[in-house]
Structure 1
Amino acid sequence: MKFNWKPYILTLIVLLILFPFVYMVLLSLASEWRFPDLLPSYFGLRNWLKIIGSETGLLHSFLISVSISLSVATVSTLSGFFISRSVSYHPKKRVLTLLTYFPYILAPVVFAACLSYFFLRMGLFGNATGVIVAQFMITFPYALIFFSSFWNQRTKNLEDLVATLGGNQLQTFFKMLFPIAKGMLLICFFQTFLISWFEYGLTSIIGVGKVQTLTIKVFLFIKEANFYYGALSCCLLIFPPVVLLYLNKRYVFNKLV
């Protein structure tokens, strides 16, 4: 009888994937864990309770990150959807589409350094508004590229059909295009949210340390060798993506399938 290794291999792969996340949660609950102690001297919610205080500012950083990412994702998704239509139907579509890849030619830190002079002159340096504008400059091209496949001949025919039946431009968008593109709009929103949520290079340069998002906090704690607060901030950092992943699977993927 042939032995089946597949269940054991799959179990090992799942354990290897889950181990970093489980260890991170355990490390956020521990303190004073020093070699050669096998277990930490304290294990509880003390680190988590401190996020409410002013010592760490993690709760404030979490709220800033959520606000920035929601703003960037909402504006990028809606503007990308509307403007991608004009780009897709433009005679020079290939040239305009090629230009949308320009922000991704440079590394985010280099791109931010190139923009820093203009942001400084406009008063957008070192504040949340500047970070939102800077992140928009990399999420908006992504939305344009993402929605380029939506504007095809079938969509054009449906638009012409609505116009033939007497519908105006506003009715075309809200009663025909938005319902059809609902799944793509949600996916683009999730993707742009994640791009903004994990962005470090642009935020660190344009924010100059004043806009301390969770991503900035994680690197600060790691540089300070504060592994417990670093693990705690990582737990907060991965919480919204996990929620979005669940919503994406629950309400988007299942309906598309």
Structure 2
Amino acid sequence: MLKRTIHLVLITLILLPILVLMMLSFGEQWIFPDVFPQNFNTKTWLKLFSSDSEISKSLGLSVLISLSVAFLSTLMAFVFSKVISTSKYKNQYIKLAYLPYILSPVVLGVLWHYFAVVLKLNASFFGVVLAQFLICFPFGFIILSSFWSRHIYDIQNLSFTLGASTYFSFKRIIFPLAKPILGLCFFQCFLISWFDYGLTQLIGGGQIKTLTLSVFNFIKEANIFLAAIASLLLLFPPLLLLFFNKKIKFKRSLINTH
């Protein structure tokens, strides 16, 4: 009984904020001291699908930026981690990768803003992508450095002794083995970019309006209903990632049992 009660409380605490956002996204005319909005309809959601919708534009821009940052960070981190894995200075490089996370994000943002102005990348799509890449790339490098173990190299060398080419070894052996950690790195970098506010605001100069920025703008404008929709859309990728992660683990457990 106690265990069920604890589970119920935890589920309620997790779902309650989402349910409140869902309620507000369908609400209209919420006047103090009413606990709930006076009207409920789909007008606010229908605005999302209009051609001039600010939320839909912000959503598309956020997806494009996050996918670009995640893909570039994962690709470059995989290549660099492979090159560095055979270096005698490997540990030193990994320690340097932690440097961006030791410094204050505000300090990093101010420094990168200066270079963005010099390179004329401020208030631009590519400037925001580059700024977020500089945060995600070291993170991806740290994650993927753990992949290149002695065991991986032993398997690769074994494939060479059996006559496999470098291309075949990478395509049929290395890449399939690296898929789980590449997926982890990609989604982690995607989420870092997806929820970023400070760098996008500073480097983008308020011109690159991502979904995260839109949430704060709607709150400042006291438009709680549009803020609720934007917040729900902002929560969608993490929930999707959680669903697929659980699904993959379930498949693996079935494979192990059989």
TM norm structure 2: 0.92
Paired AA for residue 105 in structure 2: P
1:73 to 70, 75, 88: 70
**Structure 1 equivalent of residue 217 of structure 2:** 220
Moved more, 16-25 or 164-173: 164-173
Is 1:85 the counterpart of 2:82? The answer is yes
Is 1:17 the counterpart of 2:18? The answer is no
Q: Give how far 1:166 is off.
A: 3.0
Is there any run of 5+ residues in structure 2 with no aligned partner, and where?
254-258
Moved more, 52-61 or 239-248: 52-61
TM norm structure 1: 0.93
**Structure 1 equivalent of residue 191 of structure 2:** 194
**Structure 2 equivalent of residue 180 of structure 1:** 177
Is there any run of 5+ residues in structure 1 with no aligned partner, and where?
none
1:110 to 103, 107, 124: 107
Percent identity reads 43
Paired AA for residue 166 in structure 1: G
* Structure 1 segment 215-254 matched on structure 2, within 5 A: 215-251=212-248, 253-254=249-250
What does the per-residue CA deviation read over 1:203-250, in whole Å, with 9 as the maximum and x for residues that have no partner? 111111110000001111112222111111101111122122212222
Is 1:33 the counterpart of 2:27? The answer is no
Contact 2:24–2:37 (8 Å) recurs in 1? no
Find the residue that maps to 2:214 and give its secondary structure. helix
Is 1:96 the counterpart of 2:93? The answer is yes
Q: Give how far 1:95 is off.
A: 0.9
In the alignment, the residues of structure 2 paired with residue 228 and residue 215 of structure 1 have an alpha-carbon distance, to the nearest angstrom, of 15
Runs of 4+ in 1 over 3 A off after TM superposition: 52-56, 254-257
1:162 to 155, 159, 162: 159
**Structure 1 equivalent of residue 138 of structure 2:** 141
In the alignment, the residues of structure 1 paired with residue 92 and residue 252 of structure 2 have an alpha-carbon distance, to the nearest angstrom, of 32
Paired AA for residue 90 in structure 1: S
Alpha-carbon distance change, 148 to 255 in structure 1, aligned in 2, over 3 angstroms: farther
In the alignment, the residues of structure 2 paired with residue 115 and residue 256 of structure 1 have an alpha-carbon distance, to the nearest angstrom, of 43
- RMSD, matched Cα: 1.6
Alpha-carbon distance change, 105 to 38 in structure 1, aligned in 2, over 3 angstroms: closer
